[in-house]
C-alpha cells in the first residue's frame, strides 16, 4: 500500500494541504514527540502530514517517525527555498535531483566540505518516479513560473548574504562538479533518513527569495511560494 509522508517545516507550508485533507475526508491526529501528525487523504491517496519545525534535526526526527510509526512508503518535503542559481526567479519551482548538507565540514581530517565521514553517500538521490509525477503535476497546473530540477543544498542557516551564497555554491560544487540550484534548511536531512531506510523521496520547493541581501528590502515571497509547492504536492496525490 502506498502511504505518503509529507513534511513542511512551517505552518504556511502545510496549511493548504491540511485544508484539502479536511475537505476530502475525516482527519485523525496523533501526537508524538511534541509533534502533531495528521492522517487522512487527498484524492484517493493516503498520507500523513506534519509540520516539523525549522532545521535539520526537526526534519530528520519527523521523517524517522513517519517511517517507524506510520510505515509510510514515500517521503515528500514541501516548502520554500532560496535561489542559488542565477537562472531561478522568485516563485519558480525546484524538484530535487539530489540533496546535500552544505554545512557539514570535517576538512581538518582531510575530507572535502559536505562529506559525511563513515557514510557511503553524502549526496542523496531523489526518486525518479516521484520527479516525473511532480513534473506532470506542474505541467497540468499551467503555472506561469518556471520548473527546474537540480541539487538542493541544506543547512542550519538562513542564507541572506551574497558571500555565504557563494561559499555554499563553491563547497557543494567541489564534491563532484555539480552546482546546487537552491538552498533551504530541511531537505537533505529528510533525504538522509529516506536513504538509510531505503524509502523513495522528493523535495519540492518554490523559490521565495534569492538568498542574498535583497531579503532586507522585503523581497521575500514566503506565503506565495509555499502555496505553489503545496499545490504541486496536492496534484501529485490527486493524480
Given a contact cutoff of 8 angstroms between Cβ atoms, the answer to whether 183 and 159 are in contact is yes
3-238 topology per CATH? Rossmann fold (3.40.50)
Of all helices (H) and strands (E), which one includes residue 169?
helix 162-176
Residue 172 host element (H or E): helix 162-176
144 pLDDT exceeds 90? no
* Cell representation of residue 115: 562529506
Q: What angle do CA 31, 35, 38 make, to 5 degrees?
A: 65
> Which residues participate in catalysis according to the annotation?
13, 209
What pLDDT is attached to residue 216? Answer: 75
pTM: 0.96
Q: How far apart are CA 124 and CA 13, in angstroms?
A: 23
219: pLDDT strictly greater than 80 = no
Domain boundaries, the chain: 3-238
Phi-psi region of 79 (alpha: psi -120 to 50; beta: other; left: phi over 0): left
pLDDT digits (tens, 9 = 90+) for 86-112: 999 999 999 999 999 999 999 999 898
Amino acid at each position: 500500500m502506498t502511504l505518503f509522508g509529507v513534511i513542511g517545516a512551517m505552518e504556511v507550508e502545510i496549511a493548504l494541504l491540511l485544508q484539502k485533507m479536511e475537505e476530502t475526508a475525516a482527519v485523525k491526529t496523533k501526537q508524538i514527540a511534541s509533534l502533531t501528525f495528521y492522517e487522512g487523504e487527498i484524492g484517493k491517496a493516503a498520507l500523513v502530514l506534519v509540520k516539523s519545525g525549522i532545521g535539520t534535526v526537526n526534519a530528520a526526527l519527523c521523517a524517522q517517525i513517519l517511517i517507524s510509526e506510520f510505515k509510510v512508503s514515500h517521503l515528500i518535503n514541501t516548502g520554500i527555498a532560496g535561489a542559488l542559481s542565477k537562472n531561478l526567479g522568485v516563485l519558480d519551482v525546484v524538484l530535487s535531483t539530489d540533496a546535500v548538507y552544505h554545512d557539514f565540514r570535517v576538512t581538518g581530517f582531510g575530507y572535502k566540505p559536505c562529506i559525511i565521514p563513515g557514510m557511503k553517500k553524502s549526496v542523496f538521490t531523489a526518486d525518479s518516479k516521484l520527479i516525473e509525477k511532480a513534473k506532470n503535476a506542474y505541467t497540468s497546473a499551467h503555472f506561469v513560473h518556471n520548473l527546474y530540477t537540480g541539487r538542493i543544498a541544506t543547512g542550519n542557516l538562513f542564507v541572506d548574504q551574497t558571500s555565504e551564497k557563494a561559499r555554499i555554491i563553491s563547497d557543494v560544487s567541489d564534491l563532484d562538479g555539480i552546482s546546487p540550484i537552491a538552498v533551504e534548511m530541511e531537505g537533505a536531512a529528510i533525504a538522509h533518513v529516506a536513504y538509510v531506510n531505503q524509502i523513495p523521496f522528493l523535495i519540492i520547493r518554490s523559490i521565495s527569495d534569492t538568498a542574498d541581501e535583497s531579503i532586507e528590502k522585503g523581497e521575500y515571497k514566503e506565503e506565495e511560494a509555499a502555496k505553489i509547492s503545496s499545490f504541486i504536492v496536492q496534484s501529485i496525490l490527486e493524480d
